[in-house]
Structure 1
C-alpha cells in the first residue's frame, strides 16, 4: 500500500519569516470564538496590533458577543493574511490558536498595549477611552501557516515570538525613538520603505520597533522590515537605523 504523502512541510527559516511577517503586518483579522450558550464556533472581525514580542493585541467592546465568549472561554483563533489580486487562496495566511487574556486598566501591560495599538490603528482613539472597551492579549499556543497552494506548515509559539534581553528594554525606549524618527528623520523612513520593503510612494512613518525589526505604514499599507540580525541590546538600535539609511541611500 502506497504511503500517504504528508501535506505538512518541514518548518524552515522561510516559513518562520513569513509567519512573523503576516503577524506583524496585520491590521485586522478574523477572530474565532466559542459561543458560551451553544458551544458553536463564531467568527467576527477585529482590529489587530502586536505587542513588542509579537503577541497579537485586540481592542474589543464588552457589549460584543465575541467578548462575552472570550470571557467565558478564552480559547480562540485568529486568521491573518490579506488576499490580493486573483485567487484569494493563492495568497499566504496564518491561523493562530490562542488563549485570550484581558488586560486590566491602570496596569503597565495595558498601557503598553494601548500605546502600540494606537500607533498602528490611530482611528481607535475615537473609542479607546470608552468604558466598555478593553484590550486583550491573544497568547499564541501554536499556528498553522498556509503560504499558498501546497505550502502548509505548523509553527510553534517560539517560532513566532520575539525573545531575548533587548525586548523589554526596547519597549521602554520605543516611543521616544518613534517620535524622534517621525519628527526628524522621515526621509530615512522613506529610504527604509523603498529599499528594504520595496514599497513605493511617500508619507511612510514608523509605528513599531522591536528586537527583530521595524513596522512602517503609509495610509492603510503596512510593511515589516527585519533587521539582518536581532538586536542584542537596546543601545544598538540607533547604529542599526543609521546603517540601514546609509545602505538604502547607497542602493
Structure 2
C-alpha cells in the first residue's frame, strides 16, 4: 500500500512537508502545567523530529527535567478553514543526542543559518523518540497510531548516499527540478531550485523560498532504486509539459 493511502503514511507526509511545529513540554517553572513553544525541526530518515535548542530556552530546561513532550504540526494551505486541515501530534520522549555526520549535514541543508548556533556551547541537538501519534486528516478522519507504525523504514545506505545524490541533482539536473515544481506543485520556477533531502518516501525542494514535498509513487527499498524513480518522475513531468 502506498504510504499516502494509510494513516501512518499520511501523518508522515504532513510532518515531512513542514519545518515548524508547536513543541509542548512539562513546565519546571509552573509544575504540572504544559508549556507550548514554537520550534523548528528536521526529520531523520525514520521521520523522527530533530531539534537544535538552546540551553537557555524554557523548553530545553523542561525537557531535561522531564523528557515527556509532544510536537503538533498543522497542515498549511487548506482553504476550508483551520479545523478542516490535517494535523499531527507526535507524542514521545525528547532527549539530547549527538547526530552522526550525515544527519548533521542534513540539518544544515534545511537550516543553513544554524551553522553559527552549532559552534556555540549552549545549543544542543535533541531528538524525539515517538511513542504514539494522533493524526486528524480532517472531519471524521481521526486515528491513534503507534510509534512503531509511524516510523519510516531506515535505509542506512540511503542516508549515506543522500549528500552525493543531492549534489548531483542540484548541479546537473536543474531542468528536472524545475519540472518537479511545475508538475507536482503547479509552480513555475525561473531561478535556481535546490533539492534539500531525499528519504525512502520522497524528496524536498527549495523553490522561491518555499519548501516543496514530492512523494515517490511507492517507497524505495534500497538506495539503488533512487535514481530510477527520480528519472521516471522527471520523465512524467516533462511529458506533461510537452503535451
Give the structure-2-normalised TM-score: 0.88
- Residue matched to 2:188: 201
Offset at residue 110 of structure 1 (A): 4.2
1:113 is aligned, of 85, 103, 107, to 103
CA contact (8 A) 2:45 2:153 kept: no
CA contact (8 A) 2:205 2:212 kept: yes
Q: 1-side partners of 2:58 and 2:208: how far apart? A: 30
Offset at residue 114 of structure 1 (A): 2.2
Please report the RMSD computed on the Cα atoms of aligned residues, expressed in angstroms: 1.9
- Residue matched to 2:164: 176
1:145 is aligned, of 135, 157, 181, to 135
After superposition, the C-alpha distances for 1:89-123 in whole angstroms (9 at most, x for unaligned) are: 2211111102112113xxxx343332112211222
After superposition, the C-alpha distances for 1:211-245 in whole angstroms (9 at most, x for unaligned) are: 12111222442222222222221112112211211
Aligned length in residues: 233
Question: Helix, strand or coil for the counterpart of 1:127?
Answer: helix
2:18 is aligned, of 17, 20, 26, to 26
- Residue matched to 1:100: 94
- Residue matched to 1:3: none
Question: Helix, strand or coil for the counterpart of 1:78?
Answer: strand
CA contact (8 A) 1:113 1:135 kept: no
1:73 aligned onto 2:66: yes
After superposition, the C-alpha distances for 1:13-53 in whole angstroms (9 at most, x for unaligned) are: 34333211111112111000001351211010111110112
After superposition, the C-alpha distances for 1:138-169 in whole angstroms (9 at most, x for unaligned) are: 111111111222221112223322115xx110
Q: 2-side partners of 1:83 and 1:244: how far apart? A: 24
Moved over 6 A (4+): none
CA contact (8 A) 1:49 1:56 kept: yes
- Residue matched to 2:9: 17
After superposition, the C-alpha distances for 1:151-194 in whole angstroms (9 at most, x for unaligned) are: 21112223322115xx1100011001111111111211121222
- Residue matched to 2:211: 222
Give the structure-1-normalised TM-score: 0.85
* Structure 1 residue ranges without an equivalent (≥5): 1-11
1:212 aligned onto 2:205: no
- Residue matched to 1:234: 223
